[in-house]
Chains A and B, each alone.
Chain A
Amino acid sequence: MVNYRANLMICGGTGCIAMGGLDLKDALEQELKGKGLDNEYRVVITGCNGFCAEGPILTAYPEGIFYKKLTPDNVPFLVEEHFLKGRPVEKLMYKEPEKKHAVPAMKDIPFFNLQVLRALRNKGLIDPESIDEYIARDGYLGAAKALMEMTPEEICETMTESGLRGLGGAGFPTGRKWASCAGYPSDEKYILCNGDEGDPGAFMDRSIMEADPHVVLEGMIIGGKAIGARQGYIYVRAEYPLAVKRLRIAIKQAREYGLLGENILGSGYSLDIEPYLGAGAFVCGESTALMYSIEGRRGMPRLTPPRSTEAGLWGKPTVLNNVETLANVPQIILKGAEWFRVLGTEKSPGTKVFALTGSINNIGLIEVPMGMPLRKVIYDIGGGVPKGRKFKAVQLGGPSGGCIPESLLDTPVTFEDITETGAIVGSGGMVVMDDGNCMVSVSKFFLDFTADESCGKCTPCRIGTQVMLDKLIDITEGRGKEGDIETLVDMSYDIIDGSLCGLGQSAPNPVLTTIKYFEEEYRSHIEEGWCKAGVCKELVTFYIDEDCKGCGACKRVCPSDAIWGEKKIAHHIEQEKCVKCRSCFARCKFGNVRTGPASLREELIKKQAVEA
């Protein structure tokens, strides 16, 4: 075995691969070989590192130096300087926004050092296609303990004591779910993993399956033993090809080692797991619809009870856990319930993974202890909103969640506190919005999604979401009427009360929260005919105010030559030519491009005609 003195970890998450991570790997290996360093440096492709905004990413160990946005062109210099001569290359390192100096070590970068990794503990640290590397990080030791030393009751008790809750969004206590299923005697039971991550902007589960597929298998083995299942399925969407590939490799390796199949580790317990590819319907993330889908039926929810733990897949007692939930299980078994409760709050112990995206500097995947205030997540880890923009709201929980305004940013991230605001923790999508976002359009976007994804089985959801969507389209296109807001709220509660499954019951949340916190904005659309963020074309007139310095930046980006004015003298927008593309509004650094109500357009045209 070659003894490498350093490891170069290239992020192999979907984001970094799309940015050219594999070309980087090839170039690096070739260059190291050329310099005769290939026996000293080992190049490893890992799962998602989490800092997707800076990809392709390379972390050089042992120093833990963090290089970002690398291209094959950077490789010769990097190898020569750092890997041969030992001089880390500052200009290729990550720099904190707003600061000039380079921050070399991962442990010194706030994005990394404020996080606590549990579900993501192996991200970027192991080769996801090597079972040995997983084992080297205590992999399968939790399963070994559960299989050799614990009874099913003890496993359920430990899980209940830990307080682990379903991290797919619902927050149901995992121990209680397992114990309930264990209580139904049956010769056939199933343990399922829900990898049907459907929220727009969410990629937590994808990342775990890509970066650390064995942890999902290990969690399922432990859960399977607790309930007495002999067969497991991982329901993963076909749109996640890399996750599917790595899960398949992991299952094959685990079978070879006898960690899946008959008589695992000689314990007498047997379990096999297969991946099941879903076709990407949002509703199939709902537990009963997911089980119908595996059975080969149309993915639609059914009435409960009976709960799945009593009669689930093929009518047999079944447990369905989310990927992130399962990723927490092995460590809880290995280190105990008390260890798990050290982080988080009394009712929401542990950590939560979030996909941080939208108008924020550090887009990526993060894991934080439950109870951390949103402000800390967004400003300290996320690095705040990009320069020149103002924070407006953060959307949590995707189409089932809601928008939280600035005034509530000190809300700690726990299941209860977030639900209190009207949003939900949900699967963990966190979309930050700035003052350029129109909240009516945001709720229209989510309603469009749920109306589209509604399976159609129950009327309130099928027709209700469509009617609400039509109302929102009317409001954003200038046909809003007095009373629309009240109608939207009324309908929301009807849909919540009358829908069969979680999709319908949560679909109105984005509308309700935006009305709750940004009612003004709905009113200005309806009453003033004015979308102040300048997003709804029918409800805005762009103009340049008198303070304009005449820098010409707006003029250069205008696609329709609608802006005129001499250099260093205030510019003007010719209203008849303006196509309301918003380019000048987004471009102006000084805030001199302004929005006015739609009615302003006529006034300005008249005024311009007089002046001419």
Chain B
Amino acid sequence: MGRITVDDLKKIKEKHQATFKLREGGNRAKVTVHMGTCGIAAGARAVMDALIDEMAAKEVKDVILTTSGCAGFCVKEPMATVEIVGEAPVKYCSLNADKMRKVLNEHVIGGNVVEEYALVVGSETSY
């Protein structure tokens, strides 16, 4: 890029927004793909890849994507938990790439829980 204008400054800022959302916090939602041994064996990797690609395609920049271990309900893997700030977390089960894309679009972006794939709302009590 050669000489830039004030508008270019704003464009560069926009382009890097996702990176700094990651580093600064202030995210709207978090999607956790459960990647324990069971999850990976059941195809969590494909679910994760689908999520990464779909988020890039839809330019979703304010959602954290992370992994965690087994959610304890191994038979229902691959699983993912969607947490939207201020709302109860929702666990989805028996996912694949297509289902994950649908969850991203309808729940994370659209704000509506995808009931047909949802396992449970809320999280276990822990002490």
Contact = CB atoms under 8 A, between A and B. Distances in A.
Q: Do A and B bind each other?
A: yes
Interface of A: 3-7, 9, 39-40, 42, 61-64, 84-87, 107, 125, 132-133, 135-141, 144, 148, 256-259, 265-266
Nearest to B13: A136
Contacts of A138: 13
A5 B24 contact: no
A42 B56 CA distance: 15
A4 B19 contact: yes
A84 B2 contact: no
29 contacts: A5-B52, A5-B65, A7-B22, A62-B23, A62-B27, A62-B64, A63-B64, A85-B68, A85-B69, A86-B32, A86-B35, A86-B68, A125-B23, A132-B12, A132-B15, A132-B16, A135-B12, A135-B16, A136-B12, A136-B13, A136-B20, A137-B20, A141-B9, A144-B6, A256-B1, A257-B2, A257-B4, A258-B2, A265-B9
A61 B18 CA distance: 12
A86 B66 contact: yes
A222 B18 CA distance: 29
B67 interface: yes
A302 B5 CA distance: 43
Contacts, number: 96
Contacts of B55: 3, 5
B112 interface: no
B9 A140 contact: yes
Contact of B25 (A64, A259, A265): A64
A3 B10 CA distance: 20
Contacts of A136: 12-13, 15-17, 19-20
B4 A85 contact: no
Contacts of A259: 4
Contact of B52 (A3, A132, A141): A3
B15 A40 contact: no
A116 to B, nearest CB: 15
Given A85-B35, A141-B9, A265-B5, A125 B24 contact: yes
A476 B25 CA distance: 54
Nearest to B33: A86
Quick one: which of B21, B24, B48 has the most chain A CB within 10 A? Answer: B24
Contact of A265 (B4, B16, B35, B67): B4
Interface string B57-78: 0000000111111000000000
A62 B22 contact: yes
Contacts of B24: 125
5 cross-chain pairs, A with B, having the tightest CB-CB distances, nearest first: A258-B3, A86-B67, A136-B16, A3-B56, A86-B68
Nearest to B65: A5
Contacts of A64: 25
B36 interface: yes
Contact of A3 (B18, B23, B66): B18
Nearest to A125: B23
A28 to B, nearest CB: 17
A159 B19 CA distance: 32
